[in-house]
Structure 1
Amino acid sequence: MTNYVVLQTDFGTSDGAVCAMYGVALSVDPGIRIFDLTHDIPQYNIWEGAYRLYQTISYWPEGTVFVSVVDPGVGSERRSVVVKTASNQYIVTPDNGTLTQIKKHIGIVAARIIDENVNRLPYSGESYTFHGRDVYAFTAARLASGVISFDEVGPEVSVDSIIELPVTEASIEKGAVIGNIDILDVRFGNLWTNIEREKFKQLNIEYGDSFEVVIENEQRQIYKNIMTYGRSFADSHLGEPLLYVNSLDKIGVALNQGSFAKAYHVKSGANWKISIRKVPKVIYN
């Protein structure tokens, strides 16, 4: 077990909520090292919280304790859990779908419900709207510092009972690979799809090949154009679109030094579909 705690929320940093979570963790053990994954998850967007965990967790040492609080059901009957991943890390979170991508792509080997009779900030028992501070940060700090073991979090539950959000798999249909726009690379406006590189390679692709890309939302066509598949953004001209492999080994769509999402008003989610079909190579002058 490390003494690392990594926090993710949809709280933002314009008030004292995140700072309060820091304070609770440090009151358990001043030697804990606390890091921020992000606090800019869109409000109530459980899917994006799940994805950002998946994007990040594999690059942290074994024993790191993550806290993810995107919790529109706070104070309800939804469960509060700690899970142990197949890569020997821990996630403290509401059981509301936040663990979807971790369960699917990394694996969960054990899960426990947080026993709030033991693992809850003292004198906070009448508050039901800030479990991020009163339950999750407190439990994470106790676990990371060795005050409690994983077994002492609370009663064990089946990994199969962990709630998952619907996930669509990419497919090959009539010579095209069909997928979803899972999420946006927010800062730069790139589109990150659910199309794995190995699935894309089934189209018999090479760098420099041209592809017809169609993006639809609710069966309404938003975008259709030809673009090149490149190793990096430098493989296209300024302002040109391109396909590339992103940092999660999936296919991304970008504009060279521009925001594809803003330029074409594209968002992410289950309703955003993308089709990629190989076409004869286009030569730009």
Structure 2
Amino acid sequence: MKNHLVVQTDFGLSDGAVSAMYGVAISVDPTLRIFDLTHDIPKFNIWEASYRLYQTIFYWPEGTVFVSVVDPGVGSDRRSIVVKTETNQYIVTPDNGTVTHILKKLGIKEVRIIDESINRLPFSGESYTFHGRDVYVYTGARLASGVISYEEVGPLVPVESLVQLPISEASIDNETVFGNIDVLDVRFGNLWTNIDRTLFNQLGNEYGDGIEVMIEYDGSNVYKSTMKYGRSFADSGLGEPILYINSLDKIAVALNQESIANKYKIGTGAEWKIKIRKIR
């Protein structure tokens, strides 16, 4: 049975790189169904590539093959791998931290190193800078179309050997929840945190409550405001801040029809801390 192929890169669509990858996949099997996850990952941003896989993969059926290419170490000795998730999907990617969120949040059953003597685009052996085309999408297409089995990808290696990015966990102390701004809801500039709804609700929050939100970067205060905890943006006025539960069941902060990220120059990552406190 054929499976879907889903592709993610930081290549953008302004040149022929993604098209070349599609051409390789279709050359493996003209009937293969190929879908985009995104090609707008910020350049070299492995963290965001990891998060976008986590954001998406749960909603795809078993057997789906994901190809994720954000590869600042292309041509180095970093490994090329295919992981099998606990939900029975596959991710073809460099071993550079791209599967960090999948490992932590969903789980990974197995890891195989790609045997490039078998799974590499023919006549591409002298190319060292486009493994997305020559190794990853070629292997992914062969796996998705059934040309090879997962066992034919290459040798098994321990799951514990995977490269992982540091992930901090949200916490609660003295009626304040502490977390990080993990990623942006890019198009709208909303802030998505690592704070789960269940942890947030330990504060005894109800819709309509006033919430104090503080954001720090590298120890300095960047943003502080009081806002409503709402079900949706309709619970706030135009340009007003709102705290809500996003599509991943985590806390998010937004300005209604404005970009809070742009307005206050707020970024993402381990250095961007957020504190949330219910106003008594």
Instruction: Please give the TM-score of this superposition, normalised by the length of structure 2.
Output: 0.99
Verify: 1:207 aligned to 2:207, yes or no: yes
Q: Secondary structure at the match of 2:58?
A: helix
1:67 touches 1:93 (CA, 8 Å); kept in 2? yes
Q: Secondary structure at the match of 2:27?
A: helix
- In 1, the alpha carbon distance for the partners of 2:41 and 2:273 equals 22
1:1-285 superposed matches below 5 A? 2-280=2-280
- In 1, the alpha carbon distance for the partners of 2:154 and 2:206 equals 52
- In 1, the alpha carbon distance for the partners of 2:89 and 2:34 equals 15
AA partner of residue 17 (structure 1)? A
- In 2, the alpha carbon distance for the partners of 1:210 and 1:234 equals 16
Between stretches 245-254 and 233-242, larger displacement belongs to: 233-242
AA partner of residue 196 (structure 2)? E
Q: Secondary structure at the match of 2:275?
A: strand
Using the TM superposition, give the Cα deviation of residue 179 of structure 1 relative to its aligned residue in structure 2, in angstroms: 0.3
- In 2, the alpha carbon distance for the partners of 1:138 and 1:186 equals 30
- In 2, the alpha carbon distance for the partners of 1:144 and 1:154 equals 15
- In 2, the alpha carbon distance for the partners of 1:49 and 1:204 equals 34
Using the TM superposition, give the Cα deviation of residue 3 of structure 1 relative to its aligned residue in structure 2, in angstroms: 2.7
AA partner of residue 257 (structure 1)? Q
The count of corresponding residues between Structure 1 and Structure 2 is 280
Q: Secondary structure at the match of 1:141?
A: helix
Deviation string for 1:187-214 (max 9, x for gaps)? Answer: 0010000000011011111111111110
Q: Secondary structure at the match of 1:7?
A: strand
- In 1, the alpha carbon distance for the partners of 2:179 and 2:4 equals 36
- In 2, the alpha carbon distance for the partners of 1:217 and 1:246 equals 22
- In 2, the alpha carbon distance for the partners of 1:64 and 1:3 equals 5
1:3 touches 1:31 (CA, 8 Å); kept in 2? no
Between stretches 189-198 and 255-264, larger displacement belongs to: 255-264
Using the TM superposition, give the Cα deviation of residue 162 of structure 1 relative to its aligned residue in structure 2, in angstroms: 1.1
AA partner of residue 150 (structure 1)? Y
- In 2, the alpha carbon distance for the partners of 1:266 and 1:173 equals 24
Deviation string for 1:103-123 (max 9, x for gaps)? Answer: 011110011000000000000
Q: Which residues of structure 1 form unaligned runs of 5+?
A: 281-285
Q: Which residues of structure 2 form unaligned runs of 5+?
A: none
AA partner of residue 123 (structure 1)? F
Q: Secondary structure at the match of 1:59?
A: coil
- In 2, the alpha carbon distance for the partners of 1:277 and 1:129 equals 48
Runs of 4 or more above 4 Å deviation: none
Deviation string for 1:78-128 (max 9, x for gaps)? Answer: 000001111111000000000000001111001100000000000000111
- In 1, the alpha carbon distance for the partners of 2:146 and 2:171 equals 45
Instruction: Please give the TM-score of this superposition, normalised by the length of structure 1.
Output: 0.97
Deviation string for 1:217-260 (max 9, x for gaps)? Answer: 00110011101101111111111101000000000001111111
Deviation string for 1:132-181 (max 9, x for gaps)? Answer: 00000100010011010000000001111111100000011221000000
User: Which residue of structure 2 lines up, in the alignment, with residue 283 of structure 1?
Assistant: none
AA partner of residue 50 (structure 1)? S
AA partner of residue 82 (structure 2)? V
